């Protein structure tokens, strides 16, 4: 969930330009400057990929590009780290597929 309003307890919310990306065939609103992981988490998506052998779900773990748990397919490119990849208008993201490292 994104913070949509400012309050006396929080600083002013500043966002980049509103854009749209496609995630698993559905459109999601995003803002320039956000990462793929931030957009997915804001939309309630927590399963980003499945392990190959046991098909266990994986998602954001470290959030800084070290652990490789958040791998997704972006615009046809496999094994893209969602936590490190900024969104681009019209980007196509695929989640919950087996990933071979």
Residue 13's pLDDT is what? 78
Domain boundaries, the chain: 18-94
* Full-model pTM: 0.88
Please provide the size of the chain in residues. 101
Nearest to 80 by CA among 43, 18, 32, 36: 36
77-84 contacts: CB < 8 A, separation 24 or more? Answer: 80/36, 82/35, 82/36, 82/37, 82/40, 82/48, 83/35, 83/36, 83/37, 84/35
Residue 7's pLDDT is what? 76
Domain 18-94 has CATH 3.90.1150.10: no
CA 67/CA 42 separation, integer angstroms = 21
Residue 17's pLDDT is what? 96
CA 13/CA 53 separation, integer angstroms = 42
Give the pLDDT means over successive 10-residue stretches in the chain (101 positions). Answer: 73 89 97 96 95 91 94 96 98 83 61
Provide the β-strand partners of residue 35.
Answer: 86
Residue 99's pLDDT is what? 63
Residue 9's pLDDT is what? 83
């Amino acid at each position: 969930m994104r913070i949509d309003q400012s309050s006396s307890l929080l600083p002013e919310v500043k966002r980049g330009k509103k854009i749209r990306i496609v995630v698993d065939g559905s459109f999601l609103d995003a803002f320039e400057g956000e990462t793929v992981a931030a957009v997915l988490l804001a939309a309630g998506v927590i399963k980003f990929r499945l392990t190959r052998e046991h098909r266990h779900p994986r998602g954001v773990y470290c959030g800084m590009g070290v652990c490789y748990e958040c791998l997704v397919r972006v615009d046809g490119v496999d094994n893209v780290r969602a936590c490190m990849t900024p969104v681009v208008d019209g980007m196509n993201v695929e989640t919950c597929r087996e990933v071979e490292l």
